[in-house]
Amino acid sequence: MAGLDMSRRTMLARGGAAVAGLSVLRLAGPAHAFGRQSGEEVIPWLDQPEDNPAPEVIVRQLEWEELDSWLTPPDQFFVIKHYDEPTLNARDWSVEISGLVAEPLTLTLADLQARARREVTCTLECSGNSGLPFLTGAVGNATWAGTSLAALLEEAGVLEEGIEIVFWGADAGEQTRGEVTITEQFARSMSLADAMDADNILAFEMNGEELPSLHGHPVRLIAPGWYGVANVKWLTRIEVIDRRFQGHFMARDYVTIREVERDGESVWTFTSVTRDRLKSAPAKVTRSGDQHRVMGAAWGAPIAGVEVRIDDGDWQPATLTEGEGSQYAWVFWDFEWDAPEAGEHTVTSRATGVTGDVQPAPDDPFLTGKTTFWESNGHITRRVRIG
Ligand SMILES: Nc1nc2c(c(=O)[nH]1)N[C@H]1C(S)=C(S)[C@@H](COP(=O)(O)O)O[C@H]1N2
Ligand SMILES: [Mo]
């Protein structure tokens, strides 16, 4: 398979680079691999995101040229909120676990903090990222700390008929269904089996700090491996129900509509956005003297390797520099760009997962058959001018 073949080539290239001495310093100090090195200059991309038409919703995005830290600091971490930001006071706040449970629970922040602590480092990406010309930096990586969701559900005792877990946020806004306009609370759901995944936490810390207000203070769901939308912020209620939940953000928004071939016929599929997809992006091109490098990130699945293509050239292996082997966190990569010619160039990256899956090309029928902008994980091409 192409993927396995690619990772073998990546390994060879890694060995080769170390022998040649080119990357010895980088390999010795991975923490500095992405940082700005002295005398190193970032060459800004020629293509920049379009003006944000909805700054109330897309509050902040990552600026790729500024990416230099594997854990994204909160002031660089993208923020998406669909309704007004609620102001929750951690002292009065509590979360309710109710519905089809043997013993409903109401837990304060102190109650959650007194439970077994669990940390997970994971990359969060909005499933709309790269699907719209103004949404290109809706991805970030953080260490979240909190306590196990599964343990809480077990303690509450999900009843036999409980099959779906709904996570309610404190934020709400108007939604119209047919003739009726209602004020609907932000909510997302998961099947009981998905919710019981041992890695899901109710998180109250981000990168060692209290969860910032815009990221869901005081407590949010962190569902590692799921697109951003599943990670409900400003959590107030966890409800167990006996049927599928069809709230706005499950059944109407964040729904991927795709035309696929089945037995020679074309059919349409409709699926709610769920788990992350394999993806990568060139973050920046830097120049130090006449040495050029491309740096980037890959995420969405455990990563085996990344390749880079300059203009219409061959795919060439990049070196993974940070985060390799992580299950949910992004991997940083580095590509030595030998003697680029002066002028305009394109830089494209593609990731391969440990399972051998390869990030699809933008003309892959799986992507071209999609009519909605969600889950746009095709190769990302950036433009840059050298010299
Ligand atoms: N309560 C609530 N939770 C929410 C949202 C929201 O609007 N309200 N937005 C979701 C979406 S669409 C994304 S992409 C992530 C973004 O998380 P962040 O703002 O911490 O980066 O939060 C999710 N959780
Ligand atoms: Mo999102």
Res. 135: pLDDT tops 50: yes
Q: Is 124 in the pocket of ligand 1 (CB under 6 A)?
A: yes
Confidence of residue 39 (pLDDT cuts 50, 70, 90): confident
300-342 confidence digits (pLDDT tens)? 999 999 999 999 999 999 999 999 999 999 999 999 999 999 9
Nearest atom in ligand 1 to the alpha carbon of residue 82 is: 7
Q: Which residue has the CA at smallest separation from atom 23 of ligand 1?
A: 229
Q: Is 186 in the pocket of ligand 1 (CB under 6 A)?
A: yes
Q: In the predicted model, is pLDDT for residue 11 greater than 90?
A: no
Q: Is the CB of 211 under 6 A from ligand 1?
A: no
Expressed in angstroms and rounded, the spacing between residue 378 Cα and the centre of ligand 2 is 17
Which ligand is nearest to the Cα of residue 216, counting in written order? 1
* List of residues 6+ apart from 336 with CB closer than 8 A: 17, 22, 23, 291, 292, 293
169 Cβ closer than 6 Å to some ligand 1 atom? yes
pTM listed for this prediction: 0.91
Mean pLDDT estimate for the chain: 92
The residue-averaged pLDDT of 184-202 equals: 98
Residue with the smallest CA separation from ligand 1 atom 24 is 232
What local confidence, expressed as pLDDT, does residue 3 receive? 35
Could you tell me the two tokens for 36? 């700005």
Percent of all residues in the chain with a pLDDT value above 90, rounded to a whole number:
88
Mind giving me the DSSP string for 223-275?
-TTB-GGGS-SSEEEEEEESS----IIIIISSEEEEEEEETTEEEEEEEE--B
Average pLDDT over residues 134-139: 98
Which atom of ligand 1 is least distant from the CA of 126? 14
Cα 133 to ligand 2 centre (Å)? 15
Task: Indicate the DSSP class of residue 158.
Answer: B
For 59-91, write each residue's pLDDT tens digit.
Answer: 999 999 999 999 999 999 999 999 999 999 999
Sole residue written with tokens 């909605």: 372
Domains of the chain: 2-39+52-255 (3.90.420.10), 279-386 (2.60.40.650)
- Tell me, using a 6 A CB cutoff, whether residue 248 lines ligand 1: no
If you average pLDDT over residues 133-155, what whole number do you get?
A: 98
Confidence of residue 215 (pLDDT cuts 50, 70, 90): very high
pLDDT digits (tens, 9 = 90+) for 257-284: 999 999 999 999 999 999 999 999 999 9
